[in-house]
Amino acid sequence: MSNLSPLPEAEATLARHAARLEARLEDADPLAIIAAAREAFGDRVATVSSFGAESVVLLHMVSQVDRTMPVLFLDTGHLFPETLAYRDQLIDRLGLTQVLTFHPDEAARMARDGDNDLWASNTDACCALRKVEPLEKALAPFDAWLNGRKRYQAVTRLRIPVVEADGRHIKFNPLAALGPAEIAGWIHAHDLPEHPMKRFGFASIGCMPCTSRVAPGEDARAGRWRGAAKTECGIHLRRTA
């Protein structure tokens, strides 16, 4: 994928496409949004999942629509062992057939983070190396992707649409309008296994060095990069084609 900005007309065309989909799907239920994405893009759409605290809801819905849809998972090298075990558990439980795991480029890691401690001095650079760049490579064969962001998770996510343009991709946010009770209700109604660390107060689970427990009343993502101004790893910041 090129780092050059898209031509204005290409960017405008993608934005119009996203706007049409948003107008059609903004009030649709998540299963209908996922089905519409699959219908519109066929094998050129993938789901991106962290297999984190609430990932099971989107993954279960995807399995209901089409369990062969590719699911892209970024193993940063700093994940909790519980997350990797949970990934394997959900693959088996949901019958997902194309979970593809991506890692940071090893040459880049050795050059930029040979001691695996970049997170301590520059979290943005660490996320770029271990998440943003691997995702760019993972998404290269696709025209659209789904993710599990929800508006209630943080003040920075209050206005996310159901469909948006993102670089050269269309990005679907099928769960955007769901609240905590609906997420918990879906998990309970379908008897889905939860991430094992939720019982210990982890409401949003990323890399070990940058994840902490969340106190009652805090945003679900308050435990990510605690004490820093950082609120997103970078994969959901607008990208260029």
CATH of the domain at 126: 3.40.50.620
Asked about 233 being catalytic, the answer comes back as yes
Predicted pLDDT at 5:
53
* All residues at 6 or more sequence positions from 180 whose CB lies less than 8 Å from its CB, including other chains: 152, 220
Check residues 123 and 11 and name the one with the higher pLDDT.
123
User: Is residue 227 in a domain?
Assistant: no
Q: What is the residue-averaged pLDDT of the chain?
A: 90
Using alpha carbons only, give the angle 43, 48, 53 rounded to the nearest 5 degrees: 145
pTM metric for this prediction: 0.89
Give how many domains the chain has, as a whole number.
1
pLDDT in tens, 36-49: 999 999 999 999 99
Predicted pLDDT at 2:
44
User: Is residue 113 in a domain?
Assistant: yes
Predicted pLDDT at 237:
64
User: Is residue 228 in a domain?
Assistant: no
pLDDT in tens, 67-80: 999 999 999 999 99
User: Is residue 25 in a domain?
Assistant: yes
CB 127 within 8 A of CB 121: no
Chain-centre distance of CA 86, in angstroms? 16
Provide the domain limits for residue 174. 8-210
User: Is residue 235 in a domain?
Assistant: no
Lowest mean pLDDT among 154-158, 180-184, 190-194: 154-158
Token code pair at residue 162: 């159901």
User: Is residue 232 in a domain?
Assistant: no
User: Is residue 220 in a domain?
Assistant: no
User: Is residue 153 in a domain?
Assistant: yes
